[in-house]
Amino acid sequence: MKTVLTRALLASAIALPLVATAAGFSPYVDAKGGISRPTDFRTHFVHLGSYAVLDEKSAARGLHDVYTEKASAEHYRKTGQFPDGATLVKEIRKLETSAMTTGDPVVWGSDAAVWFVMVKDAKRRFAGNPLWGDGWGWALFKADAPATNAAVSYEADCMGCHVPAAQTDRVFVQGYPTLKPH
């Protein structure tokens, strides 16, 4: 009896989050739907794929690397859907170019400039929050203020450009080989 109680207490203590999060939903989302930037994605998430925007006129010029949790990628490979709570991080790094022994030019990503984050919400938890809708929470973090979500409205700041991916849950899956069944 005593052991059982201790175990139960221990389990609840371990499950207790440091900040108020939306009841076990996502470690990156607080109770009001505020999204924070995952900082350990390069080592703890899996890499889904990359887009390189070479267009010199584009504000998005850079190397775009996209990551998600390993379990979320596995779930997608099995079902073709992102699970509730899945996190997508797109890191944009500035482009460097030079001739290398592999070719000329060769481009690669240097310092991170911005991070775009999407968190899958299959239950419409934050209906009144302008950063949540179309099945996701949406956030943007810039390198000069990486703790602040610079997006204010997903409809104004994000959705216009994500319409072409409406058939694939707003995600441009064609660039992510990790999501393909193998």
**Minimum CB distance to ligand HEC smaller for 18 or for 32:** 32
Using alpha carbons, list the distances in angstroms from residue 67 to 4, 38, 118, 161.
Answer: 39, 10, 11, 19
**Minimum CB distance to ligand HEC smaller for 7 or for 142:** 142
Answer yes or no whether residue 171 interacts with ligand HEC by CB under 6 A. yes
2: helix, strand or coil:
helix
Answer yes or no whether residue 90 interacts with ligand HEC by CB under 6 A. yes
- Residues 26-85 touching ligand HEC, rule: CB under 6 A, are 51, 53, 60, 64, 66
Instruction: In angstroms, give the least distance from the CB of 182 to ligand HEC.
Output: 20
Instruction: In angstroms, give the least distance from the CB of 181 to ligand HEC.
Output: 18
- Residues 131-150 touching ligand HEC, rule: CB under 6 A, are 138-140
Q: What is the DSSP letter of 83?
A: P
Question: What is the Cα–Cα distance from 88 to 16, expressed in whole angstroms?
Answer: 24
Q: Which residue of 118, 119, 132, 141 would you call a contact of ligand HEC, by CB under 6 A?
A: 118
**Minimum CB distance to ligand HEC smaller for 64 or for 93:** 64
Question: What is the Cα–Cα distance from 94 to 64, expressed in whole angstroms?
Answer: 9
Answer yes or no whether residue 86 interacts with ligand HEC by CB under 6 A. no
The angle formed by the CA atoms of residues 142, 73 and 157, to the nearest 5 degrees, is: 30
Q: Is 133 left (phi over 0), alpha (psi -120 to 50) or beta?
A: left
* DSSP states along 33-61: --B---SSHHHHEEEEEEEEE--TT-TT-
Number of residues binding to ligand HEC, judged by CB under 6 A: 21
Longest dimension (CA), the chain: 71
**Minimum CB distance to ligand HEC smaller for 53 or for 95:** 53
**Binding-site ranges for ligand HEC (CB under 6 A):** 51, 53, 60, 64, 66, 88, 90, 116-118, 138-140, 151, 157-158, 161-162, 170-172
